[in-house]
Chain A
Amino acid sequence: MATRAVTVPSESALIVRAFLSRLAFYLFVVLVSAFFALPLLWLVLAPFDRNPNLDVKVPSGTLQNFRDVFHDPNVVTSLRNSAILAVATVAIVVAAAGFAAYALSRVRIPGRDLLLYTLLLFSSIVTGSAAMVPLFLLIYDLGLINSFIGVILVLAGGLLPAAIFILKDFMDTVPASYEESARVFGASSFQVLRDIVTPVVRPGLAVIAVWGLVQVWGNFLIPFILMRSPDKSPAAVVVYNFYTEGGQADLRLLSAFSLLYSIPVVAMYLFVSNRYGFRFHGGIKR
């Protein structure tokens, strides 16, 4: 009896142990959350403070920072430039990746999967820093330095491989019988693509579009290298220019601009989440 009492902890000891392990778990979760939440909290609070520093604190409550930031002529243009780059790039990526993914999904060619995985591998290289010098030389030789077209082409080229890869999966889920029935009724390839395939893979196209917009919106390196004049620079590059005369980062302008800059991305997230509920697994349930 006595030995059993030692090996089996009493009920109250078990409860205490469960409570402590719960407590430790929540403590850990809180710490991790705080680590990620604090910068976001700063982003939301600092723009409304007259003298923001790197602390998270209750703001003094002012809109002066936003007035100042809009006073800078580059701010509105840069947001506009970002929008132009994002929309144009995404238009190219969605259209080109759509056609390419459809073809890759439907046509049986030897080494297709190898091609796809090579593409995916390249996507991280093309826009990565490793290719910066050749890319710069290429765009320079094409005479596209300091032009939207140059930046858009490079960005689109960087996004295309991954976009094709993702979209091909969506295309694969469209049953061949959908297209065949339309073809028997006399639909042309273009009609099949427009009337049947595109609507069915629309969630996939939306994924690509939103992902592409976010990628371009946040891309700093490529426009920074390929754009020369400040009036053509997108927001991601302009945010780099907020310094005080003393060479210190101007946190008042920087924080206000950062908030403005992040609004479209958050809005996009909410839109997609609301519209598609993040059921991004493609295909159609029957």
Chain B
Amino acid sequence: MADVRMRSLTKVFPGGVRAIDELDLEIRDGEFFALLGPSGCGKTTLLRTLAGLEAATSGTLEIGGRDVTRLPPGARDVAMVFQDYALYPHMRVDDNIAYPLKIKKVKKEDRRRQAAEVGSHLGLDSLLLRRPAQLSGGQQQRVALARAMAFRPQLFLLDEPLSNLDARLRLEARSFLRRLQTEVATTTVYVTHDQAEALALADRIAVMEAGQIRQLGTPVEVFKHPANLFVAGFIGSLRMNLLPATVAGERLLVGESSTPLPPSAAGQVHEGENVILGARPEFCLLVADGEDGIAGEVTILENLGTEYLVTVEAGEVVIQVTVEEGAEPAVGDRVRVRPALERTLVYRAADGNLVGSPAPERTSVEA
């Protein structure tokens, strides 16, 4: 059990790429913490720096109150699960699980017994004598988790452990992982590029871009109030509508139409200011032409199963909205889209930051 503190942590690769840029971050004891971002954002480098596989260029890193910035990987008391699981092909499953114990010089019978215990906890009883090549992807993943657990580390590091599984299995493994982490209650840092995974699993999420944290918060905070346009565009299974708009009194002009200024932004923007209106397709309402809303013509109709994703175009403005099945319009219909006022966000066009919500938590250090 341990918390993790990073202060101005920086990693510059030879050649000058700043993979991690002056990062201040605190991960709480027992937390399931997700590092989320597109590829190349530095999330995996950060995880490898936590593991000690990359040496930080500057800054400090503490795990459980101990400065480990300059310690080699083996001395940090962390366990890492790799994207490809890194199971040793020549060892049986139980020997794979027991390998960390072998390094710790645990006696052979003891480590076999412990490996069997951990293995049975993860439902691997019948597989202990097999080789990794004889296991399915999901089973391999559980062996990799079992091996990390057998080590009883202070900190788990998971590098996209679900990305090699097929879609159905991934959902199963996701629930399994969440339950396991709650049981074990070991601080876990989880790297993913899949926002749905991060939202579903994590206690807190750090959304990263270009080596910096663009937003830090709970899944609910990150989903409801993306702190800036990058996070707004990244979080959500359906991409948030981000429409250029101009403040005009109590309303926002969007293309030819207008929509009321959300209460959250009232008094924070000045007349004529250029802003970006952010509204998730799920939080928009399709209304008949003539009612209040952004007017346009239905151009695309996509079936999402339980609902339809309707694309409405009005000149330059393209806005998407979800509609319950059965209530979908026809392509070519003139309609209006009304963003739900309480759920509509306003971003400043100048810097891309959210208007009217508490200053983004970005790199704040909590006590």
* Chain A residues engaging chain B, CB cutoff 8 angstroms: 175, 177-178, 180-188, 191, 195-196, 199-200, 202, 284-286
A186-B74, A186-B104 in contact; A181/B89 too (CB < 8 A)? no
Which residue of chain A has the shortest Cβ distance to B14 in the bound complex?
Answer: A108
The distance in angstroms between the C-alpha atoms of A106 and B30, with both chains bound, is 36
Known: A180-B86, A182-B99, A184-B78. 13 other contacts (CB 8 A): A177-B83, A180-B51, A180-B73, A180-B82, A181-B80, A184-B52, A186-B75, A195-B88, A199-B91, A200-B90, A284-B133, A286-B89, A286-B133
Give, as a whole number of angstroms, the nearest-CB distance from A271 to chain B: 20
The distance in angstroms between the C-alpha atoms of A70 and B147, with both chains bound, is 59
Interface centre among A195, A199, A202 (most CB of B within 10 A): A195
A175, A184, A284: the one within 8 Å of B74 (CB):
A184
B167 interfacial contact with A, CB 8 Å: no
Contact B75 A181 (CB under 8 A): no
CB neighbours (8 Å) of B91 from chain A are 199
Pairs across A and B, CB under 8 Å, 29 listed: A175-B84, A175-B86, A180-B51, A181-B82, A181-B147, A183-B52, A183-B53, A183-B73, A184-B52, A184-B78, A184-B157, A185-B74, A185-B79, A185-B99, A185-B103, A185-B151, A186-B73, A186-B74, A186-B75, A187-B74, A187-B103, A188-B74, A195-B99, A195-B102, A200-B90, A202-B90, A284-B89, A286-B132, A286-B133
B100 interfacial contact with A, CB 8 Å: yes
* Chain B residues engaging chain A, CB cutoff 8 angstroms: 51-53, 72-76, 78-80, 82-84, 86, 88-91, 99-100, 102-104, 132-133, 147, 151, 157
Give, as a whole number of angstroms, the nearest-CB distance from A170 to chain B: 14
The distance in angstroms between the C-alpha atoms of A178 and B96, with both chains bound, is 11
The distance in angstroms between the C-alpha atoms of A208 and B83, with both chains bound, is 32
A186-B74, A285-B133 in contact; A191/B89 too (CB < 8 A)? no
A178-B88, A200-B88 in contact; A184/B103 too (CB < 8 A)? no
Give, as a whole number of angstroms, the nearest-CB distance from A44 to chain B: 39
Give, as a whole number of angstroms, the nearest-CB distance from A140 to chain B: 46
CB neighbours (8 Å) of A185 from chain B are 74, 79, 99-100, 103, 151
Give, as a whole number of angstroms, the nearest-CB distance from B305 to chain A: 34
Give, as a whole number of angstroms, the nearest-CB distance from B61 to chain A: 15
Contact A184 B84 (CB under 8 A): no
CB neighbours (8 Å) of B84 from chain A are 175, 177, 286
Interface centre among B82, B89, B151 (most CB of A within 10 A): B89
A177-B84, A191-B103, A285-B133 in contact; A184/B89 too (CB < 8 A)? no
Which residue of chain B has the shortest Cβ distance to A180 in the bound complex?
Answer: B53
The distance in angstroms between the C-alpha atoms of A202 and B89, with both chains bound, is 12
The distance in angstroms between the C-alpha atoms of A172 and B99, with both chains bound, is 23
Which residue of chain B has the shortest Cβ distance to A196 in the bound complex?
Answer: B88
Contact A186 B53 (CB under 8 A): no
The distance in angstroms between the C-alpha atoms of A196 and B147, with both chains bound, is 15
Contact B86 A177 (CB under 8 A): yes
Give, as a whole number of angstroms, the nearest-CB distance from B219 to chain A: 28
Contact A182 B133 (CB under 8 A): no
Give, as a whole number of angstroms, the nearest-CB distance from A191 to chain B: 7
The distance in angstroms between the C-alpha atoms of A117 and B52, with both chains bound, is 34
4 smallest CB-CB distances across A and B, nearest first, come from A186-B74, A177-B86, A185-B100, A181-B86
Give, as a whole number of angstroms, the nearest-CB distance from B37 to chain A: 21
Which residue of chain A has the shortest Cβ distance to B91 in the bound complex?
Answer: A199
CB neighbours (8 Å) of A286 from chain B are 84, 89, 132-133
CB neighbours (8 Å) of A199 from chain B are 88, 90-91
Give, as a whole number of angstroms, the nearest-CB distance from A138 to chain B: 41
Contact A178 B103 (CB under 8 A): no
Interface centre among B75, B86, B99 (most CB of A within 10 A): B86
